[in-house]
Amino acid sequence: MEDTDSRSTVETVADALTEAVRTGRLVPGQRLTENEFTNRLGVSRSSVREAFRRLTADGLLMAEPHRGVMVRQLSRVEVDNLFQVRGALEALAVTLALPALHQAPSTLVALQRDLDAAVEQGDMNRFSQLNGRFHRLFRDTADNALLSDTLTRLSNSLYWLQFRVLVDRSDVFDTNRQHREVTECVVANDEGGARAAMLRHVENARKLIQSLPDDHFARPQPRKDRSRITD
């Protein structure tokens, strides 16, 4: 199955690992050994190590010295922390994207129409796909690469429960109501309202995740300090 290598070796490995995490073949918290993947993928240890590090930086895996890497899994506290940061950044994205979106709202309103339709039809997969596109529209329009990358990393940190969270219809209904609030505020050029609605939306997502049973979360983690730069 190995024909053209347009991408580099570590990219190939990283993609394979990403896919394995996304589809749940690699379970959150599961330990990954280097040898395992050198054999399975037929690449050298160096490449596997490099791919591990890259995915760790991206938030998909987590590493501990002398203990290797594992599929990232957050504790409840870490999830709360993540959503605090995410809220602040999504609100910033709203502020930055507002002028452009208000002036040319066609993409946003079309997207909102599709979201409404997906809710109407109860198509959860389509909804969650469009939901992602909704947030991406804001952070792409915000035109701030650092903001975009940071938000992406946060998303990746939740990758492990990607297909584990099954939202039912009432959840989707609530979520979409907040979407519509955001959209309406954008059309009305109401920055404060849009920010507040987006914050409510993020908070809602947090609650949805926290409502999962305990076994989806990592045990409270030991403190890892490693701050190279002091005073």
Query: Shortest Cβ distance from residue 220 to a second copy (Å)?
Result: 12
Instruction: Return the SS3 of 32.
Output: strand
Residue 64 and residue 26 in contact, taking contact as beta carbons nearer than 8 Å: no
d(CA 207, CA 210): 5
Query: Shortest Cβ distance from residue 16 to DNA (Å)?
Result: 13
Q: With CB under 8 A as the contact rule, which of the stretches 34-42, 84-92, 175-183, 212-220 interacts with a second copy?
A: 84-92
When asked if residue 85 is in the footprint of a second copy (CB under 8 A), the reply is yes
Residue number with CB closer to DNA (67 or 228): 67
Q: 20-55 burial, b for 16+ CB within 10 Å, e for fewer?
A: ebeeeebebeeebebeebbeebebeeebbbbbbebb
d(CA 69, CA 31): 6
144 binds, among DNA, a second copy, none (CB under 5 to 8 A by kind): a second copy
Q: With CB under 8 A as the contact rule, which of the stretches 14-22, 104-112, 166-174, 198-206 interacts with a second copy?
A: 14-22
Among 24, 68, 105, 193, binds DNA (CB under 7 A): 68
Among 5, 35, 65, 166, binds a second copy (CB under 8 A): 65
Cα–Cα distances in angstroms (integers) from residue 96 to residues 32, 57, 141, 194, 195, in the given order: 40, 26, 8, 11, 11
H-assigned helices in the chain: 9-22, 34-41, 45-57, 76-103, 106-121, 124-141, 145-157, 169-187, 191-210
Catalog residues that contact a second copy under the rule CB under 8 A: 8, 14-15, 18, 22, 46, 50, 53, 57-58, 65, 78, 81-82, 84-85, 87-89, 91-92, 96, 129, 132-133, 144-147, 150, 152, 155-156, 159, 223, 227-229, 231
Catalog residues that contact DNA under the rule CB under 7 A: 8-11, 32-35, 38, 43-47, 49-50, 65-69
